[in-house]
Structure 1
């Protein structure tokens, strides 16, 4: 049973890596527009001389990389929140059964 679970986890990790890497290899020169881009175009439309007061620290080389980093940030945040909720639920369950 343990060996089957290890194999299953191994294949799931390979699948996760492929889902991340394959699109980065085959998708080039794409633009993924978001609400930030729409906000900038509206600001430039209504205030032509507007100068941004802050600059990006890091600008990703493409839109797909930017989307990937955004999704990665969301996944890490969700993982942390899920861990914290699970931790406290486990502590409560432990106290209840002690």
Structure 2
């Protein structure tokens, strides 16, 4: 029962902001940081350029999703490993 309650609360935390906050754009931290830098120091020159630019938004989303899936897999493996060790004593 506790797992179902936690899953429901997690889903509520994900969906609630999307339902409550209307007509807004969810921008990433990179875009907000770039805007702030342009406001504070318009003549700022970056130290280096991007070495890989994804060809489109879909590829960028795919890479981000892949990174999240790999991270979740690693965390799940570690949790399973420790639970298995605890059960087997």
Query: Per the shorter chain, which TM-score range?
Result: 0.5 to 0.7
List alignment gaps of at least 5 residues for structure 2.
1-25
List alignment gaps of at least 5 residues for structure 1.
1-31
**Bigger Rg, which one:** 1
Task: Report the alpha carbon displacement of residue 86 of structure 1 after superposing the two structures with TM.
Answer: 0.3
Superposition misfits of 4+ residues, deviation over 4 angstroms: none
Give the corresponding residue for 1:59: 53
The equivalences for 1:6-85 within 5 A come to 33-85=27-79
Task: Report the alpha carbon displacement of residue 57 of structure 1 after superposing the two structures with TM.
Answer: 2.3
Task: Report the alpha carbon displacement of residue 36 of structure 1 after superposing the two structures with TM.
Answer: 0.6
TM-score normalized by the length of structure 1: 0.57
SS class of match (1:65): helix
Pairs aligned (count): 64
Deviates more, 1:50-59 or 1:68-77: 50-59
